[in-house]
Amino acid sequence: MKILYSILFLLSVQIAFSQTITETEIFNLTYKGEADPYFLKYDKTGTNYAYVYRINDENKNFIISPKNLSDKYDYIEPLQIVFDNEGNYYTIATDYKEDYGADNYFLIVNGEQIKNYNYIEQYSTFLNKQNEYVFIFKTGEMYRIGYYSIKTGFRQSEEYDNIRPAFNSLMLSNQMEGDMVAYDEKYFFKNNKDERVFLATKNGKTSIISGSEEIKTDYGDINEGSLVYNKNNELSYIAKKTGRFYEYTGGELVVSGNKTYNSFPMVSMPLVFDQNNEPVYVAADSIGDYKFSYYVVKGNEKQPVPSDRNSSDAPLNFSNGISDLKVSADGVISYIGNSEIIVPASNISDDGNSYDDYYTKSYLVENNKAYELGYNIGSILYNSKGDMLYSGIANTGKKERLLMMNYGESRIILNKKKYDDIYDYGFTPNEEIFYGGQTYDEKALNNNYQTTLFIGDKKIGSYAFLAYQYYKDSSYILAYGPGNKFAFAAAEYLDSVNNKYIVVTNDGVLPFPSNVSGSDFFLYISNLIYTENDKIFYTADTKMEPETYAMTREAFVDNVSLGKTYDNIFDFDYDKSINEVSFVGSRGKVIYQVRVKF
C-alpha cells in the first residue's frame, strides 16, 4: 500500500505571525453521522487506520479500515487497538449478552476474526519484540498466554489456574477481570531484558513468566505490583506462602534475590533498599475485623513505632496505613504514618441522630521521631530543600482547611484567610509557592464558589474556578514560560447557566480575541501551554449548538485564532525538540492530523 499521507488532502496555512498550521486528512466517514477522533486509531507511518463506528439504533460496533470492515460486536474499545511495525492492526472485541454463549471474546486482526474464547484480558494486551500480539485468555477454568502475528500465526503457553500481568511501582493496580481499560505501557513491570512479566499460578505454586524464561517458585501467590530489582540487580517481590492475596491475610513475606525474609500477617508495597541492600517495607498486624496496625520492617526486624510527643509516651497506632516510605543514602528511614481519629458527635443532627467525625491524622516519621503534620492532609509536595508543602486541617475543632509548610520539627500556616478548601497548590519553577483558596457560599443563588489564586506573596485574582489543564498523565493549573512567566485559564460567572473562561498571564487578563468563530466568550479552555519560543497556545470551546450541545473548538496562539474550527480535538501533544503542537481534529465527517509549527 502506498503511504496513506501521500494521497491525502494536505492544507497548509501560513499565519501572519509566523505560525504554520497544517491539516492532513487521515479519515473520511462515509456512514451516517459525524466523525469523532476518539474512535480513530492510525498507524503513525500512514499505512493503515482503524475507526470504530457505532450503530446507535442497534447498539453494535464495527471497525472501518482500508483493508476491510469487521463484523459487528457489542463492544470495541478504540484505545486498545494497536498496530504492528508493518501496519497491521490488532484488537479484542466483545459480545457480552448472555444469549451469545460462552465464547464471546474475539481476537480481531485487520478486521478478520482470528480466535474466540470465554475471556480475553483486554487492558494488558501488547506487541512483543517479535511483533507478536500477546494476550491472556481463558478456556473453561484455565488460563493461557496467547501469541499471534500475521507471519508466524498462533502459539500459546501451557495452561494455568490463573495468569496476571505484573505492574511497576507507578501502578498500584486494583484491576479486576472484565474491566475495559487501556493501560499505558509504562505501568507494566519489565524485567532487565525489557520484557513484560506475567505471574502464573498452577497447583498452588506461582511462576514468574517473561518472553525468555519462566522462574518457578514455591509460593502460593506473588503481589503483582511489588516486583523490583534490588541494588545488586536481583529480582525482589512480596510473596504469600500459600493461597492467594486478597482472599485472607497471613504468611506474607519479602523475597530478594536468593534470600527469603520472615513472614508477617500482611506486607504491602513498595519495596525499597538501604545502603546495605536490605529491603525496607511496610507490614501490618490484624487488630480486629478489617482493622490493622501498620509498621516498618528492615530486613527481618520490625522497626520501633514512635510516640506522639504532644500527647503521651504510648507508641502511635498507624491504623490507616503508611505511605511515602524512603531510605536516604546514609540509611535514615522516613515515612508518613496515618492514624484514625474519631471525634465524638457534640450535637444531634436534623434527623435526630448523632454522627461522629472521622479524621486521618498524619505524622512525618524520620529517624524514629514523629512530627505531626495535620488531619486529612492532601498530597505532599517537596521543594529542593526537602521541605513539605500540603493542605490539611490543623485543628479538628475549627475544621479550617489550611496550606502548611513543614520543616520537620516545625510547621507554618501559609494562608492568611479562612478557606473552605485549598483548590490546588505547588511550587513554581523558581520555587515560589502558589495555591488557590476556595470559599463556598451556600446561600448564593449562582456565584457559590470563589477561588483566589496566590503566587508567592502576591494575590493574582479571584475567579469562580481555576481550570485544570490535562496533558498525557499530568494535570496542572499554571503553565510556565521563560523568565518566570505564567498563564492559566479561569472561569467567571456569566449567568445562572454559563461560565465564561479567560486566559490570565503575569500582565493580567488577555482580551477576548477579535477573530473568533462563534460566541463572544469562551465556554471552556484546554491544552494551555507556553512554547519554547515564548508563545501561548490553547484551544477553546467557542460555540455550543443549543439543541445537540455540540461544541465548536478553535486553536489560538498568542490570543489569535489559527483560523480553523473543529468539532472535536483529541490526542494533543507538544514536541519541545521541534517546537511543534500536534492533535487530531474532526470537522464534519473528516478527521485531520493537525500540526502547528512555531
Write the single-letter amino acid at 442.
E
Q: Per-residue pLDDT tens for 58-79?
A: 999 999 999 899 999 999 999 9
Q: Taking residues 21-26, what's their average pLDDT?
A: 96
Q: What is the distance between the alpha carbons of residues 64 and 89, in angstroms, rounded to a whole number?
A: 11
Instruction: Quote the CA–CA distance of 80 and 90 in Å, as a whole number.
Output: 8
Name, of 88-102, 164-178, 208-222, the range with top average pLDDT.
208-222
Give residue 251's pLDDT band: very low, low, confident or very high (50, 70, 90).
very high
Q: Is residue 340 pLDDT above 60, yes or no? A: yes
End-to-end Cα separation, the chain, in angstroms: 32
8 class by beta-carbon count within 10 Å (0-12 exposed, 13-18 middle, 19+ buried): middle
* pLDDT tier for residue 170 given thresholds of 50, 70 and 90: low
Give the C-alpha separation, 564 to 556, whole Å: 10
Confidence of residue 1 (pLDDT cuts 50, 70, 90): very low
Q: What is the DSSP string of 58-75?
A: TTEEEEE-SS-BPPPBSE
Beta-carbon contacts of 104 under 8 Å, excluding residues fewer than 6 positions away, are: 94, 95, 96, 97, 116, 118
CA 26 to chain centre: 28
- Average pLDDT, rounded, for the chain: 90
pLDDT at 176: 38
Residues with Cβ within 8 Å of 299's Cβ and at least 6 positions away in sequence, in order, are 261, 278, 279
Residue 99: band (very low, low, confident or very high) from pLDDT cuts 50, 70, 90: low
Average pLDDT over residues 271-298: 95
- Name 575's Cβ contacts closer than 8 Å, sequence gap at least 6: 581, 582
Residues 6+ apart with CB under 8 A from 504: 460, 461, 487, 488, 489, 490, 510
In the chain, the percentage of residues whose pLDDT exceeds 70 is 92
Cell numbers at 530, concatenated: 507556553
Task: Please compute the mean of the pLDDT values over residues 487-501 and round it to a whole number.
Answer: 90
As beta bridge partners, residue 560 has 557
Q: What is the pLDDT of residues 571-583, one digit of tens each?
A: 999 999 999 999 9
For β-strands 465-467 and 486-493, DSSP reports them as antiparallel
Q: How far apart are CA 427 and CA 430, in angstroms?
A: 8
pTM confidence score: 0.89
pLDDT in tens, 426-453: 999 999 999 999 998 876 666 688 999 9
> pLDDT at position 581, please?
98
- For 590, counting Cβ atoms within 10 Å of its Cβ (0-12 exposed, 13-18 middle, 19+ buried), the class is middle
Report DSSP letters for 261-318, one per residue: PPPBSEEEEEEEE-TT--EEEEEEEEEETTEEEEEEEETTEEPPPPB-TTT-SSBP-B
Average pLDDT for 166-174: 68
Residue 50 has pLDDT above 70, yes or no: yes
Please state, in angstroms and as integers, the Cα–Cα distance from residue 467 to each residue in 169, 187, 441, 451, following that order. 29, 27, 20, 11
Cell (9 digits) for 269: 508495597
What digits encode the pLDDT tens for the residues 502-557? 999 999 999 999 889 888 899 999 999 999 999 999 999 999 998 999 999 999 99
Better pLDDT: 399 or 196: 196
Across 131-251, where does the E strand assignment appear? 133-139, 142-149, 153-156, 162-165, 198-202, 205-209, 214-216, 221-222, 228-229, 235-240
Q: Where are the alpha helices (DSSP H) in 286-435?
A: none
Query: What per-residue confidence (pLDDT) applies to 346?
Result: 76
Residue carrying the nine cell digits 445537540: 548
User: How far is C-alpha 78 from the geometric centre of its chain's CA atoms?
Assistant: 18
**Predicted local distance difference test score (pLDDT) of residue 183:** 76
Predicted pLDDT at 355: 81
pLDDT, tens only, 115-151? 999 999 999 999 999 999 999 999 999 999 999 999 9
Report helix, strand and coil shares of the chain as percent, to nearest 5.
5, 50, 45
Please give the grid coordinates belonging to residue 183: 493501560
Beta bridge partners of 108: 91, 113
In the predicted structure, residue 409 carries a pLDDT above the cut 80: no
Q: Is the pLDDT assigned to residue 182 strictly greater than 70?
A: no
